[in-house]
A and B are shown apart, each in its own frame.
Chain A
Amino acid sequence: MKSKGLFRELARIVGDDGVLWRPEDLMLYEYDALSSQRQPDVVAFPRKTAQVVQIAKLALRYNLPLVARGAGTGLSGGSVATEGGILLVFSRMKEILEIDLENQRARVQPGVVNLDLSLAVADEGYYYAPDPSSQKACTIGGNVAENSGGPHTLAYGVTTNHVLALEIVLPDGEVIHTGACHWDRPGYDLTGVFVGSEGTLGIVTEATVRLSRKPEAVKTLLAIYDQVGDATRTVAAITARGITPAALEMMDGFTLRAVEAATHAGYPMDCAAVLLIEVEGLLEAVEEHADEIEAVCQENQAREVRRAKSAEERDLLWKGRKTAFGALGRISPNYYVQDGVIPRTRLPEMLDFIGSVEKKYDLHIGNIFHAGDGNLHPLIMYDERNREQTACVIKAAKEIIMRCVEMGGSITGEHGVGFEKSDLMPLIFSEDDLALMSRIKDLFNPLGRLNPGKLLPTGKMCGELRGGMAGGGPV
């Protein structure tokens, strides 16, 4: 497989400095934020679409898997070459090609870092709305592949609601352009199919995305609770008032204490849960909504409701939230994060259930939820050297995800199916549903060499989780 000929041919396409093939170099590419899996045979760093085309053809000729990767921050193993082959890393295709504020759009290469795009247009009063917690590192290409979310997608939608057009290299090297810079281009919405297809249908080499206007006013509230149930009930009560906050996040006390130790954001150390709530828009509307939300929090026994008094205070509160996974990584050798979704009104019930699972298996579970849209990120702490405990984590995770499914939810809200959850797909999709998805995949990726083993069940161990268990743990 690892032939010198292949390396030479790749070097001819992307230059000698654009290929990695030594095992010690490849080690850096054997994992993503889920876990370590296996090394690619070779890593290539293309600089332009034409090179991606050539590499796709080369992969075809060598009959090798071809896997695209941005920053490797994914949480479902999507950008790991689990079956080896060529790993295409887009860190050198990171140019913002065009910013068109009049039409509120930007055309970017896939390696552009999410936050960099927002920063590039910030002075003019614009930003790119989807904001995954890894936005300082993750790339637009990866966001498109995974249809990434983030705290502020509650009000503004996930990646797919902000992608207008794509340039895609198909596995046979053909280049197509989907979508348009305007609405309602006649034809099938292929853009909508490619977004979230996890690199299994084609490789995105350019994306045109929507830029949003920054709101006139923002208010960030921190509601502090002595009972977790009061916090989750507040979430449903806010929705019932007809208010859609820009973000509505929940962290439990266990998580908070870890976050506070790491970031000193000023979170209370002794509470059971907090809600981080943000409202945006016209000044008058924001004031009204903030007052109303504060009243709802108090009706639901919040101990205290704080409002960020400055942009710095706000940033600090968000820093705490966005670095929470890392903070938990400081206190546990490994953790396993889930991404289930439930109807938001069932949060209180779900939290009780997670609590019972925690007790049953004698584990610590930190809860960080995009509570406003019912997207749960329970983080199960463990030490992979403890085999017994690791086995319990797998069982606990399975029980939680099954409960999400029973409540009419989903196995993934924003992290993607990837390698991790592909064999859970039968929990929510019938054989016929999956057969149709396979047909769509075969249409674009008939040989299955594009990101193999992802998204669709492999059939090897139906209904099994195989996420963080494989090795490395948090990074």
Chain B
Amino acid sequence: MTLAVDSVRADLAALVAPSQVLTDSAACAALAVDGKVPDWAVTPSSAEQVAAVLRYASEHHLAVIPSGHGTKVSMGNPPRRYDVALSLRELHRVIQYEPADLTISVEAGMAFGEFQNLVGRSGLWLPLDPRGGAESTVGGMIAANAAGPLRQGFGGPRDMVLGLKIATMDGKVVKTGGRVVKNVAGYDLGKLLTGSCGTLGVIVEASLKLFPKPPERATFAMRAGTLGIARDLHRSIRRSPLDPMRLVLLDSPAAALLGDSAAVPEATGVELWIELGGSNRVIERCMLELRRLASAVGATMGRREGAEEAWERVSNLALWLQPRYQDVTVLKAALPVAACEEFLSRAQQEAEAERITLVSFAQVGVGIVHLCALQETLSATFGGLVVRLRQAARDVGGTLVIEHCPLDLKSHVDVWGPGGDDLEAMRKMKSAWDPNGVLSPGRFLGF
């Protein structure tokens, strides 16, 4: 085994540089995925090197998992095999930045925080608040199609990717799309790679559409007595001329958690948080509108100063909660917008029956509901609950996935749930890109 380790190490070192291949246990353990530790950790510094490593892995049937800063590594089923860790962290250059055109091309390993700082200097931003926040890499964010509550106002990574460079398993670096904001030449493989969770190819460079930052932003918290009142309120907001950037419904424990990071969750009432952007005059108008809508249903409201930290927590549930609780599980239901409340009440019933407390954060305008369990629970019990919650989501026309959980739970329940009648087409897609099945094997829908 040691010999094999050394010979592969030498081969990989020839493709990158000796210092970019690590085999020591600490370096490899740091890149473990669901408890599986790779034998080699490679950190290429160019797109071509990434492609060369992929080709080598494919030819030698070595399972390889790409990663950025690992902020979303808890997503996915445990890998069937894991031999080579492919870290993109050394690919972090800006390739081309045209602030006047609102476009930028960067390498995939660039940290999102650094990215936002750079474009922020020209008054621009990429209006995304992904899991992992500033720590995420641009490539990882696209590979996971990671969108937070800002999706309400701006859509997700899918809508902002203009083009990608992708390293493929046959050792090529291919391009899809381009650098201009409108382009329909060729198949839109950027859409395919967005959200493919590192199972088709490795994103090495992304061209993105930037947006002007709103001059002012304001967050209002509206307190509603019941879920029903909250529903009436956000329905009337969605039918109003207001165009919120973020809109999140917090159940009582979630509101308590968010209101005071030190507080123990306790019932205070359901809250609806809304963020709006524009000039002061526009925000003034929005506030009047909101006040009118709130009083019509008997809700109270107040402006939250310094809400950015709270919003970061909402987009980063697992990372925020993890250090403070023994075991954190975060489930994500994606639903038709109108079905959020029905799903939420059913989820609470199912959870109560198992004596499990679920804290819920619902992006009610886009139909994304996060349910968090903060206590240690027997995995078998919790697995059963996930299956029933998944059924509840399906019953209203949605899906449910596990975003983050203790490893043990993954042996009881599939992270993604069942596929549809296009599963075979997806399988074909996977084998066209990765014929030897060595790229993140088993992580995504069993591919």
A and B found bound together:
yes
With A157-B159, A160-B188, A437-B186 in contact, do A284 and B282 touch (Cβ < 8 Å)? yes
With A183-B366, A429-B175 in contact, do A188 and B432 touch (Cβ < 8 Å)? no
Name the distance in Å between B423's Cβ and chain A's nearest Cβ.
7
Contacts of B281 in A (CB 8 A): 284, 288
Contacts of A408 in B (CB 8 A): 178-180
Map CB proximity to A onto B398-428 as digits: 1 under 8 Å, 0 otherwise.
1101000000000000001101111111101
A439 at the interface (CB under 8 A from B): yes
Contacts of B179 in A (CB 8 A): 343, 408
Q: Which of A39-47, A107-115, A146-154, A224-232 contacts B (4 or more CB under 8 A)?
A: A146-154
Contacts of B191 in A (CB 8 A): 160, 189, 191-193, 195
Q: Which of A57-65, A85-93, A171-179, A254-262 contacts B (4 or more CB under 8 A)?
A: A171-179
A459 at the interface (CB under 8 A from B): no
Contacts of B192 in A (CB 8 A): 188-190, 192-193
With A176-B422, A239-B100, A244-B212 in contact, do A439 and B432 touch (Cβ < 8 Å)? yes
Out of B101, B183, B242, B420, name the residue touching A345 (CB < 8 Å): B101
Name the distance in Å between A49's Cβ and chain B's nearest Cβ.
13
Contacts of B101 in A (CB 8 A): 239, 343-345, 374
Please measure, in the bound complex, the distance between the C-alpha atom of A103 and the C-alpha atom of B238, giving whole angstroms: 11
Contact B399 A288 (CB under 8 A): no
Q: Which of A356-364, A409-417, A462-470 contacts B (4 or more CB under 8 A)?
A: A409-417
B172 at the interface (CB under 8 A from A): yes
A433 at the interface (CB under 8 A from B): yes
Contact A183 B184 (CB under 8 A): no
Tell me the chain A residues, 180-230 only, with Cβ under 8 Å from chain B.
180-193, 195-197, 201, 213, 215-217
Contact A409 B184 (CB under 8 A): no
15 A-B residue pairs with CB within 8 Å: A104-B337, A147-B184, A160-B188, A180-B398, A186-B416, A188-B426, A189-B192, A189-B195, A283-B241, A284-B278, A284-B282, A410-B185, A432-B174, A440-B429, A443-B428
Out of B123, B174, B278, B338, name the residue touching A282 (CB < 8 Å): B278
Q: Which of B42-50, B150-158, B247-255, B317-325 contacts A (4 or more CB under 8 A)?
A: B150-158
Please measure, in the bound complex, the distance between the C-alpha atom of A192 and the C-alpha atom of B189, giving whole angstroms: 8
Contact B423 A187 (CB under 8 A): yes
Tell me the chain A residues, 306-347 only, with Cβ under 8 Å from chain B.
341-345
Map CB proximity to A onto B347-380 as digits: 1 under 8 Å, 0 otherwise.
0000000000000000000111000000000000
The 4 residue pairs across chains A and B that have the minimum distance between CB atoms: A192-B191, A242-B212, A216-B241, A102-B338
Give the size of the chain A interface in residues (CB under 8 angstroms): 86
Contact A440 B398 (CB under 8 A): no
Map CB proximity to B onto A161-173 as digits: 1 under 8 Å, 0 otherwise.
1000000001000
Contact A425 B398 (CB under 8 A): no
Name the distance in Å between B57's Cβ and chain A's nearest Cβ.
18
Please measure, in the bound complex, the distance between the C-alpha atom of A157 and the C-alpha atom of B186, giving whole angstroms: 18
B445 at the interface (CB under 8 A from A): yes
Interface residues on B, range: 35 or more
B243 at the interface (CB under 8 A from A): yes
A1 at the interface (CB under 8 A from B): no
Contact B213 A242 (CB under 8 A): yes
Among residues of A, the one whose C-beta sits closest to the C-beta of B334 is A184
With A188-B200, A370-B182 in contact, do A183 and B123 touch (Cβ < 8 Å)? no
Using a CB–CB cutoff of 8 Å, the interface residues on chain A facing chain B are: 100, 102-104, 146-147, 149, 153, 157-158, 160-161, 170, 175-178, 180-193, 195-197, 201, 213, 215-217, 236, 239-240, 242-244, 281-285, 288, 341-345, 370, 373-375, 408-417, 421, 425, 428-430, 432-434, 436-437, 439-441, 443-444, 455
Name the distance in Å between A58's Cβ and chain B's nearest Cβ.
22
Among residues of B, the one whose C-beta sits closest to the C-beta of A214 is B241
B98 at the interface (CB under 8 A from A): yes
Map CB proximity to A onto B267-299 as digits: 1 under 8 Å, 0 otherwise.
000000000001101100110000000000000
Name the distance in Å between A66's Cβ and chain B's nearest Cβ.
18
B115 at the interface (CB under 8 A from A): no
With A186-B417, A412-B184, A436-B174 in contact, do A192 and B428 touch (Cβ < 8 Å)? no
Contact B422 A413 (CB under 8 A): no
With A185-B399, A242-B212, A288-B279 in contact, do A455 and B429 touch (Cβ < 8 Å)? no
B196 at the interface (CB under 8 A from A): yes
Contacts of A410 in B (CB 8 A): 178, 180, 182-185
Contact A146 B338 (CB under 8 A): no
Name the distance in Å between A138's Cβ and chain B's nearest Cβ.
15
Among residues of A, the one whose C-beta sits closest to the C-beta of B184 is A147
Contact A285 B279 (CB under 8 A): yes
Tell me the chain B residues, 193-224 only, with Cβ under 8 Å from chain A.
194-196, 200, 211-213, 215
Contact B367 A182 (CB under 8 A): yes
Out of B100, B174, B278, B444, name the residue touching A236 (CB < 8 Å): B100
Contact B187 A193 (CB under 8 A): yes
Contacts of A147 in B (CB 8 A): 184, 188
Contacts of B195 in A (CB 8 A): 184, 188-189
Contacts of B440 in A (CB 8 A): none
Contacts of A281 in B (CB 8 A): 241, 243
With A176-B422, A192-B192 in contact, do A184 and B337 touch (Cβ < 8 Å)? no
Name the distance in Å between A77's Cβ and chain B's nearest Cβ.
14
Name the distance in Å between B340's Cβ and chain A's nearest Cβ.
10
Contact B401 A428 (CB under 8 A): no
Name the distance in Å between B10's Cβ and chain A's nearest Cβ.
28
Please measure, in the bound complex, the distance between the C-alpha atom of A185 and the C-alpha atom of B423, giving whole angstroms: 12
- Residue with the highest number of chain A CB atoms closer than 10 Å, among B151, B188, B444: B188
Contact B421 A177 (CB under 8 A): yes
Contact A187 B187 (CB under 8 A): no
Contacts of A216 in B (CB 8 A): 241
Contact B241 A341 (CB under 8 A): no
Contacts of B194 in A (CB 8 A): 189, 192
B397 at the interface (CB under 8 A from A): yes
Contact B158 A413 (CB under 8 A): no
Contact B178 A440 (CB under 8 A): no
Out of B159, B182, B278, name the residue touching A413 (CB < 8 Å): B182
- Residue with the highest number of chain B CB atoms closer than 10 Å, among A187, A285, A444: A187
Name the distance in Å between A84's Cβ and chain B's nearest Cβ.
25
Contact B156 A183 (CB under 8 A): yes
Contacts of B159 in A (CB 8 A): 157, 161
Contact A430 B174 (CB under 8 A): yes
B168 at the interface (CB under 8 A from A): yes
Among residues of B, the one whose C-beta sits closest to the C-beta of A438 is B187
Name the distance in Å between B29's Cβ and chain A's nearest Cβ.
29
Contacts of B176 in A (CB 8 A): 433
Contacts of B368 in A (CB 8 A): 183-184
